[in-house]
Amino acid sequence: MEPIAGTGLCPGIAVGQAIVYEDAASLMKFARLEADSERILVSGPFVPTEIAVSLRVRIIGKAWDEELPRPTRSEIVPAVGALGNLMERAQDGDLLVVDGYRGMVYVNPDARVVARYQEEMERSRRPQRVMLEIRHIPAQTQDGRQIAFYADAAGLEEAWAGIEQGADGVALLRQEAILSADGLPLDVRGQEERYRQIGTDYGGKTIVVEGFNFHEDALRRQMESLLRSGDTAVFALTLPLEWGNLRTQEARGPYGKALHAAQQGRFVVRPLEIGAHLIAPAQLDEALTLIVEDDFLTIDADRIAEVLASWLPGAYPLLAADVLETLSAIAGQSIRYSKPVYLCGRMSITADILPVMIGLGWSRFGVAPEAISMMKDIVRAVSVTACKELADRIAGAASEEEAARLLLDFAAGPGGEV
């Protein structure tokens, strides 16, 4: 049976019975269930509150017809959205498989599919001590290519979750992590304390920080605090593309002026790496030049995929032939000039797309912290050669349906059982 394709909202896998929420009257169904019953919540445009549902039912997975925001950390269970017509296909009691890694949902799947996902779930339940050892070993393909995974962290809690999952660093540390309770940037001392804590906890690994875009003074304070913290980690600051080449003190605009001011102090411990942050498809072509000029680049795959989806139908906008060609060229430039480029995508860099990106030459990914150990397992199960062959077949696919079938065949076949 073919899965229903959607958008992965929370990584993870859930296998269980469906309970369908249509409107407020549906809450009576929850009240009739035995206490602590486990169900996968199926919902359309109206989603019941966590409080109403959790009175008797433990929700182990979620599947939504609508394109909904990513749940908060307190609500995290495997979740897939933008499924379109799941409400018409699923009924109370149906067996569902929710694959938040790949953005797919199976309704009443056959025994082979259930067995494959149960085995995948079982692998994730290995003894904690063994898991921690494996998580902290760098991920390497079967033919020796090392692939790095960084925590794409919206806050301090997620940055620290990345350590537990074996992250190779942080990319990106979002602005929210360095804001005070009232939503304003901390002062230099407060920011420095947070950066030093994160840098120390990560043992000197690379921490790519999203630059403040409030005003010049806010960015100046951020740069000063990063420079003061440079003895604890390799800090890098990524800034919007429109401010031009930010590696030189002569750079135009407030960001360049703030960098110049920060570098005049005696507190500089280590040079602060500066790179451009690309958020739109039209900016990808400029990456080929920016790699030469900047210290590094970050590419927000989620925002780019969102724009592409507005004019490219289907669940895999990043797999369009011209997009794949550009991404391949960027990866090649990164290798040629020995400049790191981080492909960041909490939602768009999924388990099924990962082998394609490896095949294009990518080796640095910023992903949701809770997905890192799973991604490392996938890397260890594939070869670069097989990933390149997959990427070539995807680029030549005649339709998205053919591309989706190629991804499924690769995941289940001997060429890369992921």
Domain 4-123 has CATH 3.40.50.11540: no
Q: Where are the domains of the chain?
A: 4-123, 128-412
Q: What is the pLDDT of residue 195?
A: 92
Per-residue pLDDT tens over the stretch 103-148: 899 999 999 999 989 888 876 655 444 455 567 788 999 999 999 9
Q: Quick one: tokens of 211?
A: 């630059």
Centre a 10 Å sphere on the Cβ of residue 22 and count the other Cβ atoms it contains: 12
Give, for all 418 residues of the chain, the pLDDT tens digit.
689 988 887 778 999 999 998 877 777 787 777 777 899 999 876 555 544 454 567 888 999 887 655 554 435 688 888 888 899 899 999 999 999 888 899 999 999 999 989 888 876 655 444 455 567 788 999 999 999 999 999 888 888 888 888 899 999 998 888 887 777 888 888 998 889 889 888 888 999 999 887 677 788 788 888 888 888 889 999 988 766 544 444 444 555 555 556 556 545 556 678 888 999 999 999 899 888 888 899 999 999 998 888 877 677 889 989 999 999 999 999 999 999 999 998 888 888 899 999 999 999 999 999 899 889 989 999 999 999 999 999 999 988 889 888 998 898 765 444 5
The reply to whether domains 4-123 and 128-412 share a CATH topology is no
Whether 14 contacts 78, CB under 8 Å: yes
Strand 169-173 vs strand 206-210: parallel, antiparallel, or unpaired? parallel
Residue in 304, 242, 245 with CA at minimum distance from that of residue 279: 304
The β-bridge relationship of strands 104-107 and 296-300 is unpaired
Helices 400-412 and 384-395: crossing angle in degrees, nearest 10, is 160
Out of 3.40.1280.10, 3.30.70.520, 3.10.50.40, 3.20.20.60, select the CATH number for domain 128-412.
3.20.20.60
Hey, what amino acid is at 37?
Answer: S
